[in-house]
Structure 1
Amino acid sequence: MSTKAFLILIAVVGVLLVLFIAKEFLTNKLGGVKNISHVKIGEAIVKVELADTVAKRAKGLMFRKGLGENEGMLFIFPSEGKHTFWMANTYIPLDIIWISADMKIVHIEENVQPCGVEGSAMDKLRNMCRTYGPSENAKYVLEVGGGWIKNNEIAHSGSVDFFSSQTL
Structure 2
Amino acid sequence: MTITRSAFVALLAFFSLAGVALSEVVFERGQLSFETEAGERITLDVEWALTAEQRARGLMERPALPDRTGMLFDFGETRMVTMWMANTPESLDMIFIDDTGKIARIAERTTPYSEAIVSSDKPVRYALEIRGGHAAELGLKPTARLVLPLDLPK
Letter matched to residue 32 of structure 2 = V
Per-residue deviation, 1:36? 7.3
When Rg is computed on C-alpha atoms for both structures, the one with the higher figure is 1
TM-score, with normalisation over the residues of structure 1?
0.65
**1:131 matched to which residue of 2?**
117
Are the equivalent residues in 2 in contact too, given 1:106–1:157 (CA < 8 A)? no
How do residues 82-101 of structure 1 correspond to structure 2 at under 5 angstroms?
A: 82-101=80-99
Per-residue deviation, 1:93? 0.6
How do residues 4-153 of structure 1 correspond to structure 2 at under 5 angstroms?
A: 37-41=30-34, 42=36, 43-115=41-113, 129-153=115-139
Per-residue deviation, 1:40? 1.4
Per-residue deviation, 1:39? 1.8
Deviations 1:38-60 (A, max 9, x none): 12123321101000000000010
Helix, strand or coil: the match of 1:87?
Answer: coil
* CA distance 1:91–1:159, change in 2 (3 Å): same
TM-score, with normalisation over the residues of structure 2?
0.71
Are the equivalent residues in 2 in contact too, given 1:96–1:141 (CA < 8 A)? yes
Moved over 6 A (4+): none
Q: Name the % identity.
A: 31
- CA–CA distance in 1 between the matches of 2:62 and 2:84? 14
Letter matched to residue 57 of structure 1 = R
Per-residue deviation, 1:70? 0.7
**2:142 matched to which residue of 1?**
156
Helix, strand or coil: the match of 2:136?
Answer: helix
Are the equivalent residues in 1 in contact too, given 2:29–2:45 (CA < 8 A)? no
Letter matched to residue 116 of structure 2 = R
- Work out the number of aligned pairs and report it: 119
Letter matched to residue 45 of structure 2 = K
Letter matched to residue 157 of structure 1 = T
**Which 5+ residue runs of structure 1 have no aligned equivalent?**
1-34, 117-128
Per-residue deviation, 1:66? 2.2
**Which 5+ residue runs of structure 2 have no aligned equivalent?**
1-27
Q: How large is the Cα RMSD of the aligned pairs? A: 2.0
Letter matched to residue 82 of structure 1 = M
Per-residue deviation, 1:158? 2.3
